[in-house]
Structures are given as structure tokens and as C-alpha cells.
Amino acid sequence: MNPILKPIICLLFLLAGSICVAQQSSGVSKNNGSSATDELLVEYPASFFRRYQPATALDMLRQLPGFQIDDGTSDRGFIAAAGNILINDVYPSAKQDTPSALLARISANQVARIELIRGQVRGIDLQGQSQVANIILRGDLPPVVRWDAYVRHHSDAPLKPGVDTSLSHRLNDIDYNVGIRIERESNGETGTDTFFDDNSAAIEQRYVEQVATGIDLTATLNASTLIGQTLTQFNTRAHYETRDRKEDSDFTPLVPEEDPRNEFVGNDTTIKQFEIGVDALRNLSTSLVGKAIFQFFLESVPRITSRAITNEDGIQTLSRIANITDLATETIARIELDWTGIKDHNIQFNIEGAYNSVDGTLEQTIDRGTGPVVVDIPGSNSLVEELRADFLIKDTWGNDQIELDYGLGAEISNISQSGDFEQQRDFFFLKPHSILTYSSANRGQTKLRVAREIAQLNFDDFISTTVFEDNELSLGNPNLRPDATWIAELSHERRFGQESVIKIIAFHHWISNVLDLLPLTDTDEAPGNIGNGRRWGLELESTWPLQWLGLTGAKLDLNFRWLGSTVIDPVTGNRRVLSAQGGVNAYRSLLGGNNNNKYLIRLKFRQDLEAAKVAWGWSLAERDRRSLFKVNELDIHNEGFAVDAFIETTRWKGVKVSLVGDNLLRFDQNRYRTFYSGLRDLSPIESQEFRVRHNGRRITLTLSGSF
């Protein structure tokens, strides 16, 4: 272990445990300067959202013009999970319990207003975001119980009922929200696959039925209280989930020399999670504010996967069983100091220490009719540990129209792996950044951002596992290193009143040590660093009321992204696009992150008929195909055009009744796999596979309210 890093980490944890600082929404301020101008802060009172008949704070936030919710990521560290949502000027001190989930437990009548913050306001750190939404809660309400009851019909799976309820109350100067959600997991899909030989002649077909069921139970507690001049916040979450996934396939040969067969793949998974977070903020002097954050997360995921092949006589010819267990932990201690002793400046110093670990084990056997034989999977039994420290010093200077946010961060870490692989490595990265903002008097805002960002590695990529659905191994790579990206981004946003907004973003990324699929042999690959690459593109976000078309109470949201990329292919030596990741449905995660799809587009229409207390709407979404470049295979995923619709009303005793239809066109999920006799694109095609999956229509009926 790095001899300098260990005492730094220990000091951080001692400081976080001894400093009792917290934030309060009244009485504690992160800045004693002047109030923000209209260009940097746009206020939306609760009355603005009344026409949308919201049941929760999340319902309100979803209607905030020109704002897309970012819940952060599950990457290691606090900042990656912070997202762009605050509650009473504070980022929630939780990661798995996302800001959206927390807002869904808060009744709409508890919200006083929502602030859209686009620059330095009250010393709030935007954490690199272009804007954040700040939900200001009322403190004068009696106890409130919020509840949801819902049932979902899936065309290819059993019914999915669920109940979600929470209580918000103040007891002896402690504000708390306690919630519980329980639902039945239920998903399914059907499809037909066709296999082709090297001459593109169809040789076999497969009909597939897949169903996944289980139970999902989550309990949460969020509390805050003022201790002297310090307000301490406490967040905890416990989650238990079971998943029983079955895939049943019938193979029908299209050539006479082959026989029919059946293949069954099972996956029985249990997920246990526990998270606790404590944060506090306090005015240490008239110009100095201190904050401490502590987080701990534990996840246990044991699962048993199996694959069995049966011939046409019902005799089992192959059985493979894998017993897999993953145990992950994360512990974070963080200190933030904000100083406003110099006029028009807000100087911040942050330091964070973290310990992360993933312990993976795999026991696999194979039986071809003569008894089970243990299969050795290299790299499948490993413990990966990381000690990491982050430092940041930054200054925000501004006047009425211009704001400059600039600073320098540093990251030092030690990653070790034991078990099947024995290795230890140290990393050090500098992370400078600057954001120049110009805000005009007409609510126009232009931003230029230049920054260096360091990716957080996924420890699962260090450990090998099996993928029975594809009859493949997913090999781990102990030599992974984070990719580093220089980002240049220019954006302009213009707001027309409170409802209309248009925002255009142009960006270019220079990436060092691109994380992609790295060749290990002529047939195997693993996640790895393949060299330097680039990514560039344009984003468009807009919200427009449609009153001018005679559609009273209607609006249209448009999100569009176009992206280009390039990297040297480690197999062919030629330039190609970056591999595209992210989701299986076109209407999920359209924007943001490192999604490398060439284009993504989403249209959302909503009309609120206030007199009738009825709202209805629809959304359309599509994105380009996703390509994965393997050693001897090109794997392309392509989803169809997604159409969703809803109708909701609060006409009956204030209870909100909502009917939502997802994937109404029942779009196909297509997968094209091309296998080569040797290296991809350098050898003749050996075979091809064309998969079609129907993800099913989903109709959800929800009743929600509060008392």
C-alpha cells in the first residue's frame, strides 16, 4: 500500500467522526452575501405546479421546465452520486437511495417552492452541473402519510402488484420520513432466433420464452434535527430482493443432419443491501462553513445459474451449474469547507477518503452425462480493494453577469487484487476545471466548461464470471486503469418566461486509456484499455407550451443528442466508433453519461385539462443501434421505436388515478451477431445469429394520495 495514502485515509475518517457539522434550511447559510439575480435563480412556487395535480415532490420536479433529473451514478465516491437535486440547499447523503426515490416519498403539499439554480447562489456548490433543482420544504405541516398502490399487467409476464407508503412527521424537534415499499418483480419476453452458416443459409431456429419473478422490499428512514447551531441529517436504507429468471428455448434444425433439442437457463439471485449516511453542516464563523459526510454501503449478491440441454427423447445431454457470490462494501468520509471572506469570492476546499472492496467467488461444474466435473475459471475467485483520496480547491468569482468557477483537484488511489490474481497498483491524477458563465438580462445564459474527469472503475470488470445465456465466459482483467477525459463544452440556454426554454450544447471529449473490450487471445476478450479516443456531439433540450396551437394547458418537451466518436480498433488496427453501452429499452437513459449511441431522440407531450381535473399525454423515443466489438465477433443491439401514453385524474376525493401504457407498439429488441473464423473483419465469416425479442406491452394502474 502507498505509505503516504494510508495515513491520509485514516485522518479523514477520524475527522469525519469527530466534527459534528450539519446543514439546516433555516438559520444556516453557506453564504452571507447578496441574493442571487433572476438570471442565476428561477423560482417556481408550489402554485405553479398545481395544474399538474402532483401527488409527490417528484411529480412536481418532473414538470420543471428545461430540467432533466440526474440521480447521479453508483460509481465510487460521493460526488458521482450527488446528481442535480438538493433538498433545502443540501445534497442528500445517500447513494443507493437516490434523490428521486427520496422525493417520491415526500407529499406535494409539503413543498413550498422549487428553485432552479444556474450559478453561484447562497454558496451552493453545483458540483460541475450546469444547473440544479432545489426543493424547499415547508416546516409548518402536521404529520402526512403518502401512499401508492399499483398493479402492472405485462403481456408476457404475470401481474406485478405493489404498495409504497411513507410518513413525514416532526417529533421533539426531529423531522423524519420513514417509508416502506414492497412489490412483486415480474418481467418477461418472447422471441425467435435464426442461425446462419458461412454462406448465409439458415440452419436452425430457436423459440424463446423468458420470465423473471421475485419480491422487492425496501425500507428507508431519513431524519434531521438541530443540535445547538448544527443540524445533523441521517439517512438509511435496507433492501431485499429475489429474482428467479427462467429462459426456456426450443431449437428446430433446418438441415436434415441435426436433431431438435431444448435448452433451459435458470438464474436464482438474492440481493441484500444496507446503506447508512450521516451529514452535518454548520457556520464555523461569519465567513466559514464546514460540512462532514459519512457513508457506508454493504451489498451481498449470492446467485445460482444453470444451463441444461435435453435432446428430443427427453434425455439430458449437458448440465452446467455455477454458484456465484459477490460481497461489496463502500465506506466514505468527506469534509467540505466554504470560505467567503473575500468579496465576490467563494473559496471551497474538499477532501474525501474512501475504502471500496468487492469479494467474488465462483464454483462451476459441468456434467455431460458421466457425472459433474469442476471447471476452473481463471480470475473468478478474487478480492479487489481500493483506498482512495480526493482533494479539491476551487474559487467561484462573479458579478451581476459573469461568473468564473475554477479549481484544481487531485486523486490518489491504491488498488490491490488477491486470490486468483495477485497485484497491487498506485494511481495519481490531477483534475483541473474551469466554468465561465455569462448571464444576460433576458434570462439567456452561455457557459464554457473545460475540465479533466477521471472515470471510476467497475470492480466487477476485475473478476471473471459466466454468461450462460450466450454460452460464454466474461473474463476479468486485473490490469484495468481508469480512463481520463478532457472535456470542452459550450452551451447556451434561453428562457422565455417561466415555461418556455431552449438549450443547445456542443461538446468534445479527448479520452486517454479508453475502456472497451481488449483482446486477450484470438478468441477471448475482457474489459480493458485500448488506447486514446475522442467523442464529440450536440445536444438539444427544449420545452414549449402549445397554447398558440389552441391546445390549452399543453406542452411539448424535446430531447435530442447526436454523437460521433473514434478510436483505433485493437483487433483490426483501423479507426472505428466507440462501443455503445446502456440499457435495453429505447426509452431509458436517453441523455447524459458516456452513452455512445450515434443519436438519441425523445418527444414528450402533455395536456392538463384543469377544469376537468384530467391530464393525458404520450412520449416517443428512439436511439441508434449499439455495437460491441469483440475479438472474433461483432455484436449489434438495436431497439425499436418506443411509444408510451398515460391518462390521470384527481376527480374523486383527491385520489390520483393514473393509467400508464409502456411500449405500446411492443417494439422488437434485435441482436445481430456475426462470428468470424479468426480475428474480426480480418477473417471469413463463420456463422451469424439474428435474435428478435418482444419486450411486451405494460399497462399500469396506480392509485395515490395522502392524508
- How far is CA 355 from each of CA 77, 79, 238, 361, 422, rounded to the nearest angstrom? 9, 15, 21, 20, 19
Of 10 and 163, the one with more pLDDT: 163
pTM: 0.86
Tell whether the model's pLDDT for residue 328 goes beyond 60.
yes
- What pLDDT band is residue 22 in, cutting at 50, 70 and 90? very low
Cell of 381: 475467485
Residue 263: count of CB within 10 angstroms of its CB? 19
CA distance 474 to 460: 10
In three state form, how does the secondary structure of 156-210 look? CEEEEEEEEEEEEEEECCEEEEEEEEEEEEEEEEEEEEEEECCCCCEEEEEEEEE
* Distance in angstroms (rounded) separating the CA atoms of residues 296 and 359: 16
The answer to whether residue 148 sits within a structural domain is yes
Q: Please tell me the distance from the alpha carbon of residue 473 to that of residue 518, in angstroms, as a whole number.
A: 14
For the cut 80, the answer to whether the pLDDT of residue 82 exceeds it is no
Q: What's the domain count of the chain?
A: 1
Going by pLDDT thresholds of 50, 70 and 90, the confidence category of residue 21 is very low
Highest mean pLDDT among 235-244, 279-288, 497-506, 521-530: 235-244
Residue type, 101: A
> How far apart (Å, rounded) are the C-alpha atoms in residues 459 and 422?
15
Residue 639 counted as domain residue: no
Summarised one tens digit per residue, pLDDT across range 626-651 is 899 999 999 998 887 889 999 999 99
- Based on its alpha-carbon atoms, the radius of gyration of the chain, rounded to whole angstroms, reads 27
pLDDT of amino acid 26 = 32
Average pLDDT over residues 657-680: 91
* AA letter at 683: S
More confident call, 161 vs 25:
161
What's the pLDDT score for residue 14? 44
Compute the average pLDDT of residues 233-258: 92
Does residue 254 belong to any structural domain of this protein?
Answer: yes
Dihedral sign computed on CA atoms, order 542, 508, 451, 459: positive
Among 106-120, 336-350, 458-472, the least confident range: 458-472
Q: Is residue 222 part of a domain?
A: yes
| In the predicted structure, residue 139 carries a pLDDT above the cut 80 | no
Of 260 and 5, the structure prediction assigns the larger pLDDT to 260
Among 386, 458, 443, 376, smallest CA distance to 417 is for 386
- For 298-323, what is each residue's pLDDT tens digit? 999 999 999 999 998 889 999 999 99
Sequence-ordered list of residues with C-beta below 8 angstroms from that of 314, at least 6 positions apart, any chain: none
Structural domain span for residue 169: 142-194+209-228+243-258
CA within 13 Å, CB half, 60: 30
Q: Which residues contact 574 (CB under 8 A, 6 or more apart)?
A: 568, 681
Is residue 185 in some structural domain? yes
Task: Output the pLDDT for position 624.
Answer: 87
Q: What percent helix, strand, coil does the chain show, rounded to 5?
A: 5, 60, 30
What integer is the mean pLDDT of 496-508? Answer: 91
Does the pLDDT at position 30 exceed 70? Answer: no
Which among 381, 639, 634 is positioned nearest to 517, based on CA atoms?
Answer: 634
Per-residue pLDDT tens digits for 274-306: 999 998 889 899 999 999 999 999 999 999 999
Q: pLDDT tens across 386-442, in order?
A: 999 999 999 999 887 899 999 999 999 999 999 988 899 999 999 999 999 998 877
Residues with Cβ within 8 Å of residue 217, at least 6 apart in sequence = 180, 181, 182, 239, 240, 241
Confidence of residue 68 (pLDDT cuts 50, 70, 90): confident
pLDDT of 31 reads 40
Q: What Å distances lie between residue 586 and 188, 379, 560, 640, CA to CA?
A: 17, 34, 13, 7
475 within domain boundaries: no
Flag whether 213 is in a domain. yes
Confirm whether 100 is domain-assigned: no
